[in-house]
Chain A
Amino acid sequence: MIKAKQIVKKFESGTNVLFAVNHVDLIVPKGQFITITGRSGSGKSTLLYQLGLLDKPTSGDIELAGRDVINMSEDERTFYRLSKLGYVFQDYAILPSLTALENVLLPLLMLGLPDADARRMATDAMVRVGLEDKLINYPSQLSGGQQQRVAIARAIAHDPEILFADEPTANLDTETSDMILELFLKLHKEGQTIVMVTHEKDYAEKADRIIELADGKIVRDETLRRN
């Protein structure tokens, strides 16, 4: 579960103050698939970074899976991201010097899992995203959609509490985007909590709940379906 209370993220430049996230309250129950949508510059990605511990809000409180994460040290935040959260970034963000399997393996090894267990879990994740035949391929040998699926496999390999995705279909064609969305829906069906930022209305409305931001504020919070 995510509990965010009065989250503010502001950027100051001289006398100008820009509220990227403006006093946002949000509760996401465990297992829910929510999408955060809005126009460009509405603050949707900024809110995701605050919730996903990639950035610290200017003010406000965030609780993830019952733990106050605002006052964590840098090392604690890093370990929390490693062990409890999963990320899918907009432009695949997989490491070019590692094979597909090694990209998935990396966070598992960082967790301290024995090699054999880590390898098994990474392979399982690759099977879940349908890339069991691409284990030893390097990113340069994969299509954009395949690279994004590797990124998803990396994000889910350690069975995270929450999966964050920032515009995961932004750089993909329609067919591949549909495939990625189907993958998210499948993960959701398996009980995965997902927070996904997207500016595509069709995809946003496939989630359980849709949050729309404008100028850093929630202007729409609609539950589309219940689990």
Chain B
Amino acid sequence: MDKLASYFKRPAGRIQSYKIGFFLALRDIKKANKWTTLLIIAVMVLTFLNMIVLNGILVGLIEGSITAHKERMAGDVVISTLTDKTDITKSQEIINFIESLKEVKAYTPRYTESGKLTANYERRTKETDHVDKSGGTVYGIDLEKENEVTGISKYLAEGEFIGPDDHDKVVLGANLLSKYLDIESPELQVLRNVETGSKIKITVAGITKEVTVKGVIKSKVDFDQGIIMLDSDLKKIANRSNNNVNSIILRLNDGVSPEYIKSLLLNQGYAEYARIQTFEEALPKFLLDLKMTFSLLGNLIGTIGIAVAAITIFIIIFVNAITRRKYIGIMKGIGVRKEAIELSYIFQSLFYAVVGIILGSLIVFLLLQPYFFSHPINFPFSDGILVATPVGTIIRAIILLVATLIAGYIPARIVVKQNTLDAILGR
């Protein structure tokens, strides 16, 4: 009796409430209808997937495009022509400096001009007959260097890439050809009936020359809207006598900061002759805007998902608590603290959320992410992958846990705070 009396002097504090809450939650889950439990967990898994996958795919479409832009077009550092100049003056000096940097893995100089294309002119019988016209940036490239930086010759849709002796031959971007750009619009200037081997006319700086299409490229970067030819050919057509190029793209060794290389170039005073940007700075603004918009959309959809999950949990816990109102009254009647009963419902909600999050994470990281990585979504300007970072996943998991916690607590609180005797007597 003395021992018992000493127990009774202890306050039935918060720790006891947590312990009892956990005890009751565990027993309720154990005795709950298995199908109901599975259904609740399924709702939580789907909610979590909704938060991660939808957002991840939306962002992944843009991330895929940004990655493609970096890998196939812009490298790590972009040196381009100043807006008030026609080319990069002192290009050779800059190139010499770049070659001296051991941090630079590869670089490629590019000549660019605006060009116009004409096709199907041989079929014309009258001056008024329709001629296919299109246009785009003409890239004059150093084959070896370009492939070291962008590997662009891998992205052929048809034909072959130009070789070092392929003078008067070009590779066309797929978006210049109607067969690849499946949009029917009279205003859209694309070339019809053009394929590998077709003869077309190219006009650069007022000079027109007939060239042969050697291949068609589909890289999902700016090359798809352009014409690629040997740098020597472009120089000749455009009548460019000096060796000043329009852009120099740098690929850096792993772990080298683009900011650092940019600072080295700036320290040399090259900003006077060229615009020097890191890859991020050179990103087209529309991509950044798209990324932000898609992320916003993803978050919006995710928020709606959370709200749906929270309401589902609320209803489930409320119905559960209402149907067990009498037992809640009895527990209060025999002295179980309100906090302990509320905690039992909170623990149950958390159980559903945690199981949902764990299963959802397994599905995302072991199933969906590897799947989308090996089978990217074929989006017009990117290969869409599923972007799900551990940090982003943890943040979303915490949001879902908090939402579930609140959704579990409120109905439990409503029912538990009802009059004890009324609950026992079912009044």
Interface residues, chain A, CB within 8 Å of chain B?
Answer: 49, 54-55, 75, 78-85, 87, 89, 93-98, 102, 106-107, 109-113, 117, 138, 154-155, 158-159
Contact = CB atoms under 8 A, between A and B. Distances in A.
Contact of A110 (B12, B333, B424): B12
A98 B27 contact: yes
A87 B333 contact: yes
Contact of B336 (A87, A89, A107): A107
B116 interface: no
B20 A93 contact: no
Interface of B: 1, 3-4, 7-8, 10-13, 15-16, 19-20, 23-24, 27-28, 30-31, 326-327, 330-338, 340, 420-421, 424
Given A80-B335, A158-B4, 18 more contacts: A49-B421, A54-B421, A83-B8, A83-B335, A84-B8, A89-B330, A89-B424, A93-B326, A93-B330, A93-B333, A93-B424, A97-B27, A98-B27, A109-B23, A111-B10, A111-B12, A113-B7, A117-B3
Contacts of B4: 158-159
B199 to A, nearest CB: 83
Nearest to B332: A78
Contact of B334 (A55, A75, A97, A106): A106
Contacts of A81: 333-335
18 contacts: A55-B421, A79-B11, A79-B12, A79-B335, A81-B335, A82-B12, A89-B330, A93-B327, A93-B330, A97-B27, A106-B331, A106-B336, A107-B334, A107-B336, A110-B335, A110-B336, A111-B12, A155-B334
A141 B3 CA distance: 34
Contacts of B336: 78, 82, 106-107, 110
Nearest to B419: A55
A155 to B, nearest CB: 8
Contacts of B27: 97-98, 102
Contacts of A87: 333-334
Contacts of B16: 109-112
A78 B20 CA distance: 15
B316 to A, nearest CB: 16
Given A109-B19, A110-B12, A97 B332 contact: no
B334 A154 contact: yes
A81 B329 CA distance: 13
B31 A96 contact: yes
A158 B28 CA distance: 24
Given A96-B327, A97-B30, A159-B1, A111 B7 contact: yes
Nearest to B30: A97
A54 B420 contact: yes
A150 B23 CA distance: 19
